[in-house]
Structure 1
Amino acid sequence: MGAAAQNGGMTEITESTASGAPAAVPAAPAAERPAVPAGGSADMPAWEQRFRAPRVSLPDWAEDAPDRALFVSNATGTYELYAWDRATGEQRQVTDRPNGTTDGILTPDGAWIWWFSDTDGDEFGVWMRQPFGGGPDEPAAPGLEPSYGAGAALGRDGTAVVGRSTDEDGTTIHVVRPGGAPEEIYRHRESAGVGDLSHDGTLLALEHTEHGDAMHSALRVVRLDGTTVCELDDTKGGSEELGLEVLGFAPVHGDTRLLIGHQRRGRWEPMLWDVATGEETDLAIDLPGDVSAEWYPDGSALLVAHSFEARSELWRFDPATRELTRVETPAGTVSGATARPDGTVEYLWSSAAQPPKVRSTTGREVLDPPGMAAPGSVGVEDVWVEGPGGRIHALLQRPEGEGPFPTVFDIHGGPTWHDSDAFAAAPAAWVDHGYAVIRVNYRGSTGYGRAWTDALKHRVGLIELEDIAAVREWAVASGVADPAKLVLSGGSWGGYLTLLGLGTQPDSWALGLAAVPVADYVTAYHDEMEALKALDRTLLGGTPEEVPERYEASSPLTYVDAVSAPVYISAGVNDPRCPIRQVENYVDRLAARGAVHEVYRYDAGHGSLVVEERIKQVRLELAFAERHLR
């Protein structure tokens, strides 16, 4: 359901959705990589090649050993962690698990790699660690029982801070010192998470939602014994609740400035908060849309990430002079960026038409995986439609030929997320098969201001579907979409909106494809991980027992008897976000009245990190659509 990673660590590069075995992943110059015809090879169509082509995340690097890096790759067919010694060029596979691994952190000295070990994608586990050069895994925080992750931060003296979330305890945060037993320094029923450790390791910044609004965090800085140093809470003193987020302590010993994000002017933007004096420095960076930032390694400047209308770009900001300088990147989406000690910037970039690459401001490609290159796809067109809550932004990809086309409305998850001009293999597969694809940044999406995101409350699901309906009407009236061949599709929250839309708008859709969806909201609430229960209480104003009418109005199960379109559902049997029992409740209701449906269950969690499994799921969806839309 949620889009944000629970454990922190590596940049997300997947589309969802016994270790230490060595495996080299040598970089290959782009000129040596095999060319791929636009339509794919005779034995492998282009859409499958986009999934199978090796991909890498933006490499993370150790703060005090910048030549030691960690990244995620699907080079073996499963997304796993890899170590990279940038001085020698040597690369080594760190993890090797059937369902993949993506959450990893380097210690500041680069000596150890921490990685989160769950069971078959259930997100419930413990932190393990492995020497950077290879060797056996061992518990990274002995004495801590398995849990859902709530962040982790590693200090220079070997001290670690580990956040945990369980149904029994809510959120707990522990300090783990070398050779010592874990010490609990924080506990609360509501959701919270580890933000960052100060450079000297004496101060810890936390994000918490003790006020009960899981969408808007407050901040607290504590010593490692748990005593409070200072607090910042923008949810107090007004009817509008404003969120804060930790972006990082200054990377300089003795510097007590904390870079944070705030929403005081109706969007996300950064400011500096000196936690020793309480002084707040408003940076007032004059760019439209959401603005985030991180420190340059010497603390002299900020690397600013600017997101606006489904595209992003980078800037360098000097807090002393207020000078803002553009960091040149191509048009498209930067999904991660980092400034290196020499002042260069490395970033993961893509567009809807061009596959992702890790680039540098030096002009070179930083990390080029071996094997075939992914074929490109068609670019996106911007669509703006007037809706009941304001202008709605949608992204359109058209196949070759003249419309109207069979059209897939591919609805993003989150719900606090947004679709952007970024490469995505699944939408490209539909375009290859002659479908137009429309992605809608409905109310609740990020990137269009706080009011647009926060509009998603109480009438959950129904609000988003009003916006999707407005774009659907435009698509038909403009001649893009064939009204008899409209497909509602999505994963996670998008899967939820798919099932809800099939029941509340039965005459509008010819087909539904729902992956890892919320299907029975009440059962989902009782079975899901604790952090998502807190989000649901925020969105709907309470528990199912406190506001039963809202859960009933927003649950797809309420409208299942009205569903007339064929519906395909896929679900992970170990999913902690959209658990399997509530999916089965919905499927049983479909089956009881003989509704046309198919269900695919797979042994993983909230999506799959296995490339062939993901291809299988897309192939099943394509085949289902072909059978029922002929």
Structure 2
Amino acid sequence: MTIPTAQSPAYGTWPSPVDAATAAAHGGQPESVGVVGDEVWWTAPRPAEAGRRALIRRKADGTEECPLPAPWNVRSRVIEYGGTPWAGAVVDGAPLIVFVHHGDQRLYAFRPDRPEQPPEPLTPVSLVGDGLRWADLTLHPGRGEVWGVLEEFTGELPTDVRRVPAAVPLDGAAADDRGAVRELVAATHRFVTGPRLSPDGRQAVWLAWDHPRMPWDGTELRIADLDDASGVFGAARTLIGGPKESVAQADWAADGTLLAATDRSGWWNLHRVDTSTGEAVNLLRREEEFAGPLWKLGYRWFTPLDHGLVAVLHGVGAQRLGLLDPVTGRLTDPPGRWTEWAPALAATGSRVIGIAAGARTSYEIVELDMSTGHARVIGAAHHDTVDPAYLPEAAHRVFDGPGGREVHAHIYPPRHPDHSAEGPVPYVVWAHGGPTSRAAMVLDLEIAYFTSRGIGVAEVNYGGSTGYGRAYRERLREQWGVVDVEDCAAVAEGLVAEGAADPARLAVRGGSAGGWTSAAALTTTSTYACGAVSYPILDLTGWSKNGGETHDFESQYLESLVGPVDEVPDRYRDRSPVSHADRVTAPFLLLQGLDDVICPPAQCERFLAEVAGRGIPHAYLSFAGEGHGFRRLETLVTALEAELSLYGQVFGFTPAGVPPLELST
């Protein structure tokens, strides 16, 4: 192993302008972009404002404003991960906005051009459980309603809940009257998305599915006729979909054609669906993904345009913007520097608006003018907060996993303008959450926080990740805690074998499902010298449908990830880190939000009780006011600095300006 010289400071101590506060202040990304007349609106993170999400307005003249000051927080808790939390339209010549306030989950209406009028509630506060929640909203001012998904708790348990497409009157009649909320169809399915109305107003479509399926396992595309005058829905029926077909999005073209992204070919491709027969025609059969996992209600991977083309996101791994001609099947990618687009497309006239980023740029609001073919940033513009010389150069790699299977990863070697890596360096393997998700290759100052100090980062899109077809993501079926752990180790060992990583200075980190993978790795392998585990799953039995320790949406997720709990209960025990605390030999940091209802603190506390007295250096940091995923600036700073301190203590360096993390045994 090459020891850094005096002219080359120890790995982990390279002086860096990317401090924890800078990285934390730029965490998160814009979401839920939409068009209101000639204006563009979206939500944006505000870590310094108690982690709220602000609603941003870009006026037609290009000026930006935040019309809802703190503490207004535009974020939905439907299925806990939320969904599109606002909708808008021009009414009487001015914008009307309806939004979900996170604090009480009520719908509010406000007129941004009438600042003297505060937002007015449209829905009541429920007296049962966690109340009435709303997401995936669309405004229908001609009908005097806003449509969306109603999530209603019927008892105190997280699984005492029902969901149904519903309409709320815009006149405030339902503000104190649950009876004034109009349910559009019978609540026949556990999960639904918001209804999309056909251009002629005579039909509506939405997605539906039931336990134990997750939306990427199988959904149904439902359709109902409705009386255009009364808005009453008729009997609903299924067009396409089922237990083994995932329809991720459906929407109408301007001419009344129904389009849907479904993975019936093994990849999410865009199809034209006959509303009478359910016949689905693939518009462009490719081994690429034109959609993704529906973690939030209202994701939009495609949007039909007025002149007949369809703006789509597509690709293997990363998704880029394209324009698809549904008649010829021709797909054209407009020029631009953005390599990753979020599932949040909107369109008006000849403009397509989305949220896009690159390996050296953060997420921005981007507008494509199809009349000119020119794309430009119109909001949340990326600005280099530090010298780009301190930012990592990312590379997509494919490693050999067990049995010769491919493992995709993004590798970020250390990078610094004044220092270079000589010989093997410390590496941290990042396991993403989900696990049915993926890591995107975009600028992340948290990664730069480590790479600019001389520590490499490897983000692993292990088997089970999306973006590589259904077969790749189903590698994890009943193999969670096995395939993900093996694939992460394969990347770490691959970097060691090629001389890039120091085998004695490897770490693993992750949050949520990534926290599970990290903890499982620490209890089943000797690959890593330490680990940072955030808001994890640690006890599969407690997190199963029988354990009652998580929310309704994921309460039966483990039925596919691990197996039916009633048939293989021993598998749940044997794979759980809490069952193998005696196998942990590496120091670790455990981070947890005390308000987390998805991965509750009880899981961490149970694991810590098993570790106590075993002589393993560790630290547990819990944060009041934080839920699943940290949002507050002070929390993010504390967590990053604690993680770097852990690496310093294990890898043998002292990070300057970072409070030492106190480790217990």
Return the TM-score normalized by structure 2: 0.79
1:447 counterpart SS class: coil
What is the rounded CA distance, in whole Å, between the counterparts of 1:75 and 1:532 in structure 2? 27
Match for residue 9 of structure 2?
none
Task: Give the partner amino acid of 2:85.
Answer: G
Match for residue 223 of structure 2?
221
Shift in CA distance, 586/195, structure 1 to aligned 2, threshold 3 Å: farther
8 Å contact kept, 2:539–2:573: no
What is the rounded CA distance, in whole Å, between the counterparts of 1:195 and 1:374 in structure 2? 44
What is the rounded CA distance, in whole Å, between the counterparts of 1:384 and 1:414 in structure 2? 21
What is the rounded CA distance, in whole Å, between the counterparts of 1:370 and 1:270 in structure 2? 31
8 Å contact kept, 1:230–1:275: no
8 Å contact kept, 2:396–2:409: yes
Task: Give the partner amino acid of 2:250.
Answer: L
Structure 1's unaligned 5+ residue stretches are 1-38
What is the rounded CA distance, in whole Å, between the counterparts of 1:219 and 1:622 in structure 2? 47
Query: 1:358, CA displacement in angstroms?
Result: 2.9
- Do structure 1's residue 315 and structure 2's residue 322 form an aligned pair? yes
2:424 to 382, 399, 404: 404
Match for residue 379 of structure 2?
367
- Do structure 1's residue 386 and structure 2's residue 367 form an aligned pair? no
Greater relative contact order, per chain length (Cα 8 Å cut-off, separation 6+): 1
Shift in CA distance, 213/581, structure 1 to aligned 2, threshold 3 Å: same
Task: Give the partner amino acid of 1:169.
Answer: V
What are the within-5 Å matches in structure 2 for residues 113-128 of structure 1?
A: 113-119=97-103, 125-128=105-108
Task: Give the partner amino acid of 2:588.
Answer: V
Structure with higher Rg: it is 2
- Do structure 1's residue 161 and structure 2's residue 133 form an aligned pair? no
Cα distance per residue 1:359-406 (max 9 Å; x no partner): 334343212569873554112122211223621111111113123111
Match for residue 175 of structure 1?
167
8 Å contact kept, 1:151–1:164: no
- Do structure 1's residue 514 and structure 2's residue 533 form an aligned pair? yes
- Do structure 1's residue 615 and structure 2's residue 633 form an aligned pair? no
Query: 1:470, CA displacement in angstroms?
Result: 1.7
Query: 1:599, CA displacement in angstroms?
Result: 0.7
Query: 1:54, CA displacement in angstroms?
Result: 8.9
2:271 counterpart SS class: strand
Match for residue 489 of structure 1?
509
What is the rounded CA distance, in whole Å, between the counterparts of 2:527 and 2:413 in structure 1? 21
Task: Give the partner amino acid of 1:629.
Answer: F
8 Å contact kept, 2:135–2:148: no
**Relative to structure 2, which stretch is displaced further, 494-503 or 450-459?**
450-459
What is the rounded CA distance, in whole Å, between the counterparts of 2:592 and 2:469 in structure 1? 32
8 Å contact kept, 2:485–2:517: yes
Query: 1:490, CA displacement in angstroms?
Result: 0.5
1:171 counterpart SS class: strand
1:358 to 360, 365, 370: 365
Shift in CA distance, 524/510, structure 1 to aligned 2, threshold 3 Å: same
Cα distance per residue 1:307-342 (max 9 Å; x no partner): 22x333221112233332221122632225645434
- Do structure 1's residue 141 and structure 2's residue 144 form an aligned pair? no
Match for residue 463 of structure 1?
483
Cα distance per residue 1:64-88 (max 9 Å; x no partner): x232523324385545223425224
What are the within-5 Å matches in structure 2 for residues 40-55 of structure 1?
A: 45=18, 48-53=21-26
Match for residue 249 of structure 2?
246
CA-based RMSD = 3.0
Q: Structure 1 vs Structure 2: percent identity of aligned residues?
A: 24
What is the rounded CA distance, in whole Å, between the counterparts of 2:263 and 2:617 in structure 1? 46
Match for residue 94 of structure 1?
68
- Do structure 1's residue 345 and structure 2's residue 345 form an aligned pair? no
What are the within-5 Å matches in structure 2 for residues 550-589 of structure 1?
A: 550-589=571-610
What is the rounded CA distance, in whole Å, between the counterparts of 1:561 and 1:138 in structure 2? 56
Query: 1:545, CA displacement in angstroms?
Result: 4.5
Match for residue 23 of structure 1?
none
What is the rounded CA distance, in whole Å, between the counterparts of 1:588 and 1:552 in structure 2? 16
Q: List, as ranges, runs of 4+ consecutive aligned residues in structure 1 with deviation greater than 6 Å.
A: none
Match for residue 67 of structure 1?
39
Query: 1:571, CA displacement in angstroms?
Result: 0.7
Return the TM-score normalized by structure 1: 0.83
Task: Give the partner amino acid of 1:393.
Answer: H
What is the rounded CA distance, in whole Å, between the counterparts of 2:282 and 2:64 in structure 1? 43
8 Å contact kept, 1:169–1:187: no
What are the within-5 Å matches in structure 2 for residues 288-299 of structure 1?
A: 288-292=287-291, 293-298=301-306
What is the rounded CA distance, in whole Å, between the counterparts of 1:363 and 1:210 in structure 2? 40
What is the rounded CA distance, in whole Å, between the counterparts of 1:583 and 1:188 in structure 2? 36
**Relative to structure 2, which stretch is displaced further, 619-628 or 134-143?**
134-143
Structure 2's unaligned 5+ residue stretches are 1-11, 77-83, 154-158, 175-179, 292-300, 369-373, 415-419, 653-665
Cα distance per residue 1:7-42 (max 9 Å; x no partner): xxxxxxxxxxxxxxxxxxxxxxxxxxxxxxxx9xx9
Match for residue 131 of structure 1?
111
What is the rounded CA distance, in whole Å, between the counterparts of 1:55 and 1:440 in structure 2? 20
Cα distance per residue 1:119-164 (max 9 Å; x no partner): 5xxxx83333333334423333336662565644433423223331
Shift in CA distance, 577/198, structure 1 to aligned 2, threshold 3 Å: farther
Task: Give the partner amino acid of 2:618.
Answer: H
What is the rounded CA distance, in whole Å, between the counterparts of 1:462 and 1:271 in structure 2? 35
Query: 1:451, CA displacement in angstroms?
Result: 0.6
What is the rounded CA distance, in whole Å, between the counterparts of 2:393 and 2:273 in structure 1? 41
